[in-house]
Structure 1
């Protein structure tokens, strides 16, 4: 609070709303400055603040969300050059740095293999080991990061999420960290063969015809060939890439393996790959909610996938996995940010949207385990409400 009694609060830039009165910068990585206080007039203005490196701003709480003559529209000016101040390394920033390093290596490997160049797997093994260690204390944060994806980069984002979920699944099954690391790397590169698939087939929005389907299915063969030629890839990694489209009843591809021909790692890869594909938003379609995806997978359990493993996977990631948008009893929408293993129906959520007013509301963290007045009604699709779930998750 200022000397004049004006109430101020610090708001992350990605949580600003049109009409808010900004009176100063609270945190930034760049050198921008505000020439005067002003009101946010558009979402483009918020994006500009983010581009300038402004992370948090001071907002006048008791200022009505409307324009008046006493405040100009927000403006920016450059400050003289000065050495950037190092930020303290928090546990969250460490986790994000480890995750981003693995993601960067994944992109590098995809490009090198696309060019026919050999890759050095050792940096990825090191990054994967750090990620596996972080799963012990920061699993929800990592799963949040993996959940954030760009619909126009489906191949990379899907592979990344499959790798993270496979490692997490392996952890929940009591597999040692060496196996978890192999599952993570195998998942991150399981679709590498798609670099050989023609773009007109790979990115076709509609249903593939028989000839196109045959071409698409060849990516599994290409994945095995590409990884088998590289040094350092284990049998588990290659198995994840080779068998994630095989089915217990032999109806899968490319070899039609079935039953005992599929190891536990192949069966895990099938479940995780299908789950992530079903729940992912694509440019041309909305993904299913986790509940709908579980229902679909359970419909094929016993015939196409391992029912016992599937049930363990559902318990592992929870009825409402991290990143799920849910409708609350209070008629708000919220995003699940932390699971509750003891009470899976009462996770920690971030309230983001008021259905009564059809508008975003100030973000509010709610631990449903300690707030009995509130509860989840159902999982919903963000796109059904014209929302993008990534806008409400930490990057």
Structure 2
């Protein structure tokens, strides 16, 4: 199987009225009368009209061989940018609770799978990515049903598990951003898989460099940068890897100004997938605790992304990412002006500064409070003063999820 060949899941039935230039048609699925059809690319409007005149009602296309979506995502960075987030289904409290439990279970299973993957690579074993793709399918379903749950889980980190959790979180955040941009479900799944696999090459970097507490020397950084090459080599040896998955791994350290690595791509050389991968990877890295630095709050990371907008990062996409995440992302701990600490549990698209929060602690009395969930948009007496680090108060936010 070719490295660009995808599973049968990448076939899609399309009504003839929705046919687009660049689609690769493999079969006619609905028709009027007998039709002699030869598979191929829809290369002109005349071809579209010809199919209609022949009585074709519906066709099956091969997404892996079609160019209509790949060219849009991998060549034109300005396309497919939805102006607003799609509407979310209104869920009951019980439904939200069940979805949170399901998200937690999926996240735990994904961590186990990711650990097995990294261990297999360390041992030089042949890796089957089919389980990764199956897990990605379930996670995408969860993200569509309740994106807040998965974003919350990406904020919960354990000590000494950076490589595994960073890849998992980048995958989830990429998928959530793709949902926000209204990309296709297949593309969102590939973004998630790309995030899961984008840093696999780091297992080839010596631990003394990977976990060095101080600044890397020029020679050490040159070795560190090779992890991108190692990741791409791993993907190229694996079957069923799409262009999107490979692009996430190959380009997440490139920058608009050409000062990134490994190829120094710049400007229009960076496609939409490359640009969003860069933003998400940097955001998660900035907010993560490392052995040599403390992770910053999301609001600080947003500020750095905005400062790099137009030079290092795509400014339009940075703003969309912040809107997607919310000024105070779910999983953030905030201090209210009344002195209470509250955990952000749901975003509020119409009022980004007024999310739904769970009040848990009093900074004035220095004690825990009876847990109370409030919608700040409907509670004028409470207002966010600032984001805070849970470690400052010894709070384990996972216990309150």
Flag whether TM exceeds 0.5 (same fold): yes
Select 1:144's aligned residue among 133, 152, 162: 152
Matched-pair contact (CA < 8 Å) for 1:323–1:393: no
Superposition CA RMSD, Å: 1.6
**In the alignment, is residue 104 of structure 1 matched against residue 112 of structure 2?**
yes
Ranges in structure 1 where 5+ consecutive residues have no aligned partner: 1-88
Select 2:394's aligned residue among 368, 382, 387: 387
**In the alignment, is residue 193 of structure 1 matched against residue 201 of structure 2?**
yes
| 1:130 corresponds to | 138
**In the alignment, is residue 271 of structure 1 matched against residue 279 of structure 2?**
yes
Question: Alignment length, in residue pairs?
Answer: 305
Ranges in structure 2 where 5+ consecutive residues have no aligned partner: 1-96
Runs of 4+ in 1 over 6 A off after TM superposition: none
Structure 1 residue 298 displacement after superposition: 1.0
| 1:92 corresponds to | 100
Deviations 1:94-124 (A, max 9, x none): 3332332222222211111221212222222
Structure-2 separation of matches of 1:295 and 1:92? 29
| 1:5 corresponds to | none
Deviations 1:121-179 (A, max 9, x none): 22221211111111122211122222211131111111111100000000100101100
Structure 1 residue 331 displacement after superposition: 0.4
Deviates more, 1:181-190 or 1:96-105: 96-105
Structure with larger RCO (C-alpha < 8 A, sep 6+): 2
SS at match of 1:322: coil
**In the alignment, is residue 255 of structure 1 matched against residue 263 of structure 2?**
yes
Structure-1 separation of matches of 2:359 and 2:399? 9
Q: What's the TM-score, normalizing by structure 1? A: 0.74
Q: What's the TM-score, normalizing by structure 2? A: 0.73
Deviates more, 1:362-371 or 1:329-338: 362-371
**Shift in CA distance, 212/148, structure 1 to aligned 2, threshold 3 Å:** same
SS at match of 1:246: coil
**In the alignment, is residue 338 of structure 1 matched against residue 338 of structure 2?**
no
Structure-1 separation of matches of 2:194 and 2:299? 26
**Shift in CA distance, 297/92, structure 1 to aligned 2, threshold 3 Å:** closer
Structure-2 separation of matches of 1:245 and 1:132? 24
Deviations 1:345-367 (A, max 9, x none): 11111222211022333332222
Deviations 1:26-72 (A, max 9, x none): xxxxxxxxxxxxxxxxxxxxxxxxxxxxxxxxxxxxxxxxxxxxxxx
